[in-house]
Structure 1
């Protein structure tokens, strides 16, 4: 049997109420979640949050970098059966996302995408999930640093910068253009000892 402190119960209620606003029927969703806070929920994006999807390794490293730079870390989740993670960002981010990432010269293969209005995402419950659930919190939401009961979300501008920094650390060869990679390859051959 699951026990919660009064503080934990209040936090669960506030988070559930906030998440419920991203459903077609908030009152019914909140009632159902009171019965079981452990199971994932399917929520619409573009209402209370947009979602940035990227490689899990990029999101995990960018969160370490954001923490190092003392930036606000909003909720983020990882899909245990995929190589993808998602970051909850303020609503409206999807409309300006392409402008934010355009200056970072992303390769098409790893470019993070942002989902706004008209999409949905599966998020974990607010209590620890049972074994075998396909989605879990990388950074759980918290009402400790909340405004009006809503958890703070990751700001998209520092997120883009930290995702780009993470990409340069994890995939340094992707930073260079094909011409730059060719020049590096030629230099490496010229520097290597010549056999006679």
Structure 2
């Protein structure tokens, strides 16, 4: 999946992210002086964060895009095999139930959701430097926002697409014949047909 970058830092978007810092006014001043630098934000205030394997998140985002679902901000850590999806605050409370409904196999590490008492490093909204340890997989889009807040990925849709991505990425010898057949049918149904 291609990395998307923000072409300009929108004031309302900066203010929204600043609400997840101890001093929003100081954060806004600092970010104005260095818009390209990464930011450390507290989770559980304006968003929670789902952490999962980067390949899993990238494929889940491709599936969400294919299903024409909202793609909220997501980041990937270039020095790790992990990605993070910003989801609505409060998601952490119901995450275990959402994952239980997805029938996630015990042998595969499940995505986790972090709420209060955690922090996340996000890229600057004007990432000018290359070789950063964190970059946007999907940048926040102020044009598709409610008020000053960007749309965030729906937790229920994210779980479904992470489960579908997991089934597509699991080696064939670990999957049932039925699940391989279902994945093959989905791939055919969602592949654009040339006319």
Find the aligned partners of 1:12 and 1:171 in 2 and give their Cα distance.
40
The number of equivalent residue pairs is: 168
Please identify runs of 4+ aligned residues in structure 1 that moved more than 6 A: none
Name 1:128's counterpart in structure 2: 127
Relative to structure 2, which stretch is displaced further, 70-79 or 11-20? 11-20
Show structure 1 runs of 5+ residues with no match.
1-7, 177-196
CA RMSD of aligned residues (A): 1.4
Name 2:142's counterpart in structure 1: 143
TM-score, normalised relative to structure 1: 0.82
Map residues 12-161 of structure 1 onto 2, 5 A cutoff.
12-108=10-106, 109-161=108-160
Task: State the secondary structure of the residue aligned to 2:10.
Answer: helix
Contact 1:129 1:136 in 2 (8 A): no
Show structure 2 runs of 5+ residues with no match.
1-6, 177-195
Per-residue deviation, 1:132: 2.3
Find the aligned partners of 1:62 and 1:156 in 2 and give their Cα distance.
12
Task: State the secondary structure of the residue aligned to 2:129.
Answer: coil
Deviations 1:110-157 (A, max 9, x none): 200000011001000000241221000000001001111110000000
Q: Which one has the largest radius of gyration?
A: 1
Find the aligned partners of 1:127 and 1:140 in 2 and give their Cα distance.
10
TM-score, normalised relative to structure 2: 0.82
Find the aligned partners of 2:127 and 2:109 in 1 and give their Cα distance.
30
